[in-house]
Amino acid sequence: MNPNFLQTPIPYLKGVGPNRADTLKAELGIETYRDLLHLFPNRYLDRTQYYKIAQLQPSGADVQIVGKIIHLKTVEQKRGKRLVATFVDETGQMELVWFRGHKWIRENLKINEPYVVFGKVSRYGSAFSMPHPDMELLSEHQQGVKIAMQPIYPSTEKLVAKGITNRVIGKMIQQLFLESKAQFPESLSNTIREELQLISKSEALFNIHFPKNQNLLARAQFRLKFEELFFVQMQLISKKMLRKQKIKGMPFEAVGEKFTEFFESHLPFDLTEAQKRVVKEIRNDLGSNAQMNRLLQGDVGSGKTIVALMCMLLAIDNGFQTCLMAPTEILVTQHYNGLKELLQNMDVKIALLTGSTKRSERTLLHNQLENGNLNILVGTHAVLEDKVQFKNLGLAIVDEQHRFGVAQRSKLWHKNQTPPHILVMTATPIPRTLAMSLYGDLDVSVIDELPPGRKPIKTVHRFDSNRLKVFRFIKDEIKKGRQIYVVYPLIQESEALDYKDLMDGYESIVRDFPQPQYQISIVHGKMKPADKDYEMERFVKGETQIMVATTVIEVGVNVPNASVMIIESAERFGLSQLHQLRGRVGRGAEQSFCILMTGHKLSEDSKTRLQTMVRTNDGFEIAEVDLKLRGPGDLMGTQQSGMLNLKIADIVKDNQILKTARYHAVQLLKEDPRLEKEENKPILIAYSKMMQNKTIWNYIS
């Protein structure tokens, strides 16, 4: 087979042509033979049985029948027309119905010729009918590739309207197999194939499109899923290995006086075992010659900031500057105040840079950075501006990194001749499964225990009808001197509606919690930033007892005195968002509560989310449930599913295959990092092709 055969543009395939090619590209992204070959079926139908019209039952199942069309008519209906054919066999008659595409169907249908029709039947009165059947002349049906399991391919309305039905796609794929003689180059080594008893690449591709039985289909699916995940892992692992060899870091050899002084004299509480373990992992990285690229995961309140500060002090002890970057001004200011407090008795210079930093302060700050007088810079995106130049940046810490784009992170890299060490922190727990795929090129550390003295937050689900009880409970908490959050969903599409919900809610709270006895803050997206900050500030200082807000407060406001989080219309939030919001309380030593308010009408998914929240405080368990409910695409925030544009594997359902693929990729790269061995030649060829064609997406920056 010509090695470039699969790169052939799709219009050249017999039966496609330029018009169909345009539709295939627009609707399914199919441009080459390879793309068509990798258009895998969503499901399969059993085509081994033929029914007689007299045997039909209104079961809603797909059936196939042999018969003839004896009559065609157009019937007027309320909206438009329908085309109806009378279809008969020797046992009776039924109707075939089309609601669109009449012209094309009329021109192509043959009367009194034997057809095989296939589709779902429904009963109207005493007669059966089949809408939009799959049709094939009996003579063609007998000559085609005999398919026991009929593949059903992904489709769109536009494809069907243009006459590119499931059968037409199946025909195109048959044509592709004819032209290639069903021979495709192998892309795995014999060693891996033998160890896992995998069928060959050609067999797998044939049996995914034309399976003879369930067993062969299952083997084809396993082989192709394994291969897809194997090459993704190959890329992530080789990137990580390459980075460790090529990009020399700046070794932080000394554990100096700043680190020791802080550890011995200024730690506000003893480190948990998890924090100690993570500090040790990071110290090993920083002490080696390679550049660190580590992801630090820890639930809200698990003490990531202390760990980050200790790493910064290591950098300062070794003569380097460090910076901490976070996505919002509120979060940055909070980090800055927290760090300043921890460092108050130490000789470490720290400064804050945000969009609202005054010009005069900026100039001073730029000078201090360039002459090395400033040790720690805490800031928003403003840190990335070209004007901001460090004398010697040794460590960059990025908080809640999924809010930052790839380009922004690479700017941090270029602030120095030698790239700084990078520590990425997140309070959004990422399940192991996803971390292996999304952060396969980062080392991962996890803080999986809370500091001593923190009480787990009690979470309950209450219906709107219990609202008065909930209000009574809030009044009792306020009497004890506590503060309360009331959060409303914010869903961009219906901003007017959300605003109304928020204002209605605010008004009902004002009625039940009248001034001057109660003071209430309100924060939402339509306010000016200065007004928002003013309201937040009042709440932080304890001047207001209740904060009514949209999800603006999801990331980062730290008010240890706030002990109750009420989430309105909780069914409209995703699990990870509910978990993040809950993490805003429970920051002091008092018992905290999270109350999920909903109406009585709830979908199954909503019930699962609410039950999960009530059952557990473990962010990783919550993330696993979230991943099962939402699929991997949504998990990293705004549908960044381009990251996991997998053709056949699913990292949630195929979790075990992913682990197997990763294990084999690690073994292979350990034994033959450059893929120079003869037996690994098929892997090298396939891998190089994918890298050239960008078929392995660069999941992560």
Indicate the range of 220-224, 504-508, 693-697 predicted with least confidence: 693-697
As a whole number, mean pLDDT of residues 51-67 equals 84
How high is the mean pLDDT of the chain?
85
pLDDT at 669: 92
* Residue 633 pLDDT greater than 90, yes or no: no
Cβ 592 vs Cβ 457: under 8 Å: yes
Q: How confident is the model at residue 641 (pLDDT cuts 50, 70, 90)?
A: very low
Mean pLDDT for the stretch of residues 46-65: 81
Is pLDDT of 449 > 90?
no
Domains along the chain with CATH numbers: 1-42+154-183 (1.10.150), 48-146 (2.40.50.140), 257-287+303-426 (3.40.50.300), 458-616 (3.40.50.300)
678 SS3 class: helix
Q: Residue 413 pLDDT more than 80?
A: no
- pLDDT on residue 643: 45
141-152 residue pLDDT tens? 887 666 677 899
- Residue 494's pLDDT is 59
pLDDT score at 671: 93
Residue 263's pLDDT is 92
Selected residue with higher pLDDT from 555 and 683: 683
Mean pLDDT of 435-441: 66
Question: pTM, whole model, 2 decimals?
Answer: 0.63
**Whether pLDDT at 684 is above 90:** yes
The single-letter DSSP state of residue 640 is -
Cα radius of gyration (the chain): 31
At 625 the pLDDT is 85
Of 263-267, 429-433, 551-555, give the range with the top mean pLDDT: 263-267
The more confident residue out of 394 and 406 is 394
Res 432: pLDDT: 66
Q: Give the relative orientation of helices 575-582 and 619-630 as an angle to the nearest 10 degrees.
A: 160
What b/e readout covers 628-655, taking b as 16+ CB neighbours within 10 angstroms? ebbebebbbeeeeeebbebebbebbebb
User: Would the pLDDT of 299 be above 50?
Assistant: yes
pLDDT of residue 635: 41
Note the pLDDT tens digit of each residue in 478-496: 999 999 999 988 655 456 6
Residue 498 has a pLDDT of: 65
Residues 49-55: contacts with CB within 8 Å, 24+ apart? 50/116, 52/89, 52/90, 52/91, 52/92, 53/87, 53/88, 53/89, 53/91, 53/92, 53/93, 53/94, 53/128, 54/91, 54/92, 55/91
Q: What is the pLDDT of residue 281?
A: 93
* pLDDT above 50 for 70: yes
